[in-house]
Structure 1
Amino acid sequence: MFARALQLVTAASLALSAAACVSHSSTPMTGRVEVPLADKRIGQYISSGWSFDTSSFWIEGPEGVVVIDVQFLPSIAAEVIAAAERVTRKKVVAAIVLHPNPDKFNGTATFQARGIEVWTSEQVLGLIPEVFARRSEVFAERYAPDWPTATPQPRSFGAATTTLKLAGLELKAHVLGPGCSAAHVVIEWEDHVFVGDLVANKAHAWLDLGETAGWLQRLTEIEAMGARSVHPGRGRSGGAELVTNQREYLQTVVSLVAAEKPTMPPEPAAIQRVRAELERRYQDYRFPVFLETAVPAVWRQLAAETAAEGPEEAPAEAPPESQPTAQP
């Protein structure tokens, strides 16, 4: 299995090879680096828990390296660049931001300061200022001085799905709608897909928007790409089973909340029951703290949908096949 073919490359082993590599060789590693034995052109940097076990990936091309997602903190962004260049012995020449969450875009200026182009879709770019301002209210003081001093500003490759020619590679950038964020990019290359937080491996979902229906549609779109290797925003890479597992997780969240017949305002005891059950079912999942915002967000979303549908009507006398069917 692809996930089992990952080889841990420690900071010590990277340091031993630094003399033969390109610049940034003295940058220490606070996270860890993993290189898939199945395809050594791809590597993964996983940050520490302090920055939410966030993954950045790199793809080695004939003319350099492309990084996928630029991390939560500027210092960690520098580590990603250093790790990619140590392992590949090539320069990072471009990076791509997959969706508007700080763990995907906060390192933008660190890359740009090294002359590295950072790209994203027009939709993601348009959302970054508001998201960055909102998250800075929560995180800036906690992480100071290791927090961006200005709003990150990647470049836009446009508003539609396109092929990006970077580092001698042809990467298909799928522009997708809402899921864990209000807009997404998924990168398809050969039989690989890089999906950001639309998929997590053994971690609770960031359901801040409560957008479960859109998220499930994104998973269907990813499956349609037919890739054999899936590279998630958190956790190790794997196969198509990661997408299947993510769908099952989201459907479980929805079913547990729906069973409480949500109305507004949210009922604290019911939300706690749902959270406790999710923690019980997914005992080995990291970041249960995400459930603090996830469960209320899904509750609000389902309550709003119920209110929009209006009160339930008594069954009519018409035959069953003539009755309207409710959306799942």
Structure 2
Amino acid sequence: MKRNSLMTLVLAAVLASGCAPKLIDSALAGYTSDANGFDTHSFFYDTGAEVVVFDAQFTEAEAEKLLATIRAKTGNPIRYVVVTHPNPDKFNGVAVFQREGARVVASEATAAAIPAVHAYKKYYFTKIAGMFTEETYPKQATVDVTFKDSLKLPLEGGAEVELKVLQHPGVTTTQTVAYLPGRNALVVGDLVHHRAHAWLEGGLRDGKTVPDLDSWKAALEELAAWKGATVYGGRGESAPVETAIAEEKQYLDTMKSLVSTYAAELGARKAELCGGSPGPHYEELTKRATRSFPQYTLPYMVQYSVYGLVNALACAE
């Protein structure tokens, strides 16, 4: 018998006996991959009756580690996996949880974006980076439940999870946040990398990755609606929402200035930055980012993603 069926029978028996299950409404917990999974945070919320997972990791192997972490803490059924935005470290691992009986939830915009993002990233990781083969790269994720603007997940007992699509895209082309009123917690995916370097590649638009820092900052400003909440981002530390907004905006402004200044310094050599061998320039930009934010972790994020910002700011013409 599948675990979900067993749990349903147990719950039915308890209710029939007149004794409602005690819901613990536990604290938000998490799992973080290593660098092979891009140091990605996934969070999970045990209501005492079920578990809601936020973001599913880059590979099924990492998703299995996340699953093991959950199972070490609770035996409650995993009811939903929420994908906060269409990046592969958020959706590639969802099949692991679907096999456990969970339903994958994403906004209509995220679900619509997944096929193109999957194809783009699969090509890169198999044909260019050589990190996977056609057979070993994760299969395209499928979404079970979609919604347009907002959704309150149907959960047992008094626990609540409220999903909201922001009006502005953030790190990619669309952004969902999840608010847990019982914890006053706001899960925002890669919209926030608090005191960690951010992924600056941008969202996939018409086959090209294009970062939009102004829209990213506008999305951050939308988080002020959850005054007093604690923000849990895709990487880095948790932080009060006001602090997370201010520091992430400062980071984006600094990185924009850093890239623009460096491109101007190169003068006639800017063609190197925009040409076929820009690696040394990305290394220099990473060093400058590290000097600008000496307390921030994950500088390799700049090394591998700054090309998007460089192309948008220095190589567009």
Quickly name the TM-score band, shorter chain normalised: 0.7 to 0.9
Residue 196 of structure 1: CA displacement? 0.5
> How far, CA to CA, are the matches of 1:43 and 1:293 in structure 2?
28
Matches within 5 A, 1:61-76: 61-76=47-62
Q: Gaps spanning 5+ residues in structure 2: where?
A: 1-6, 8-24, 203-210
Q: Deviations over 1:12-40 (max 9, x none)?
A: xxxxxxxxxx9xxxxxxxxxxxxxxxx84
Match of 2:307 among 275, 296, 306: 296
Structure 1 residue matching 2:260: 3-state secondary structure: helix
Structure 1 match to 2:289:
278
Matches within 5 A, 1:122-271: 122-140=108-126, 141-143=130-132, 147-148=137-138, 150-168=139-157, 169-176=159-166, 177-190=168-181, 191-209=184-202, 210-240=211-241, 241-260=243-262, 266=273
Structure 2 contact 105–146 (Cα < 8 Å) conserved = yes
1:236 deviation in Å?
A: 3.2
- 1:151 Cα deviation after fit: 0.8
* Partner secondary structure for residue 166 of structure 1: coil
1:81–1:92 Cα contact (<8 Å) kept: no
Question: Structure 1, residues 59-86: CA drift from partner, whole Å, max 9, x if none?
Answer: 1114211000011110221222222232
Q: Deviations over 1:298-320 (max 9, x none)?
A: 23333588x7xxxxxxxxxxxxx
SS in 1 for 2:154: strand
* Alpha-carbon distance between aligned partners in 1 of 2:227 and 2:52, rounded to the nearest angstrom: 22
Letter in 2 for 1:183: T
What is residue 319 of structure 1 aligned with on the other side?
none
Q: Where does the alignment leave 5 or more consecutive residues of structure 1 unmatched?
A: 1-21, 23-38, 308-328
Q: Does the 8 Å CA contact 2:40/2:89 hold for their aligned counterparts?
A: yes
Q: Which moved more, 1:183-192 or 1:258-267?
A: 258-267
| Distance in 2 of aligned mates of 1:73 and 1:196 | 17
Using the alignment, how far apart are the partners of 1:67 and 1:102 within structure 2? 16
The corresponding residue for 1:98 is: 84
Distance (Å, rounded) in 2 between the aligned partners of 1:156 and 1:163 = 12
Matched with 2:15 is none
Q: Aligned partners of 1:200 and 1:85: how far apart in 2?
A: 27
CA change 1:302–1:59 in 2 (3 A) is same
The alignment status of 1:121 with 2:94, answered yes or no, reads: no
Q: Name the TM-score, length of structure 2 as normaliser.
A: 0.75
Task: Map 1:40-119; keep pairs closer than 5 Å.
Answer: 40-119=26-105
C-alpha separation between the residues in 1 aligned to 2:236 and 2:40? 8
Counterpart contact for 1:99–1:124, Cα < 8 Å: yes
Structure 2 CA distance for partners of 1:122 and 1:283, relative to 1, 3 Å: same
Once the two structures are overlaid, the 10-residue window that deviates more, 123-132 or 39-48, is 39-48
1:170 CA drift (Å): 2.5
Question: Do 2:59 and 2:92's aligned partners in 1 also have CA atoms closer than 8 Å?
Answer: yes
Which digits, 9 at most, give the CA deviation of each residue in 1:251-299, with x for residues without a partner? 1111223335769855668766544321212234333233235433223
Q: Provide the secondary structure at the position in 2 that maps to 1:94.
A: strand
Q: Which segment is superposed worse, 274-283 or 55-64? A: 274-283
Change (3 A) 1:304 1:173: farther
Count how many residue pairs are aligned between Structure 1 and Structure 2: 268
Tell me the equivalent position of 1:34.
none
Match in the other structure for 1:32 = none
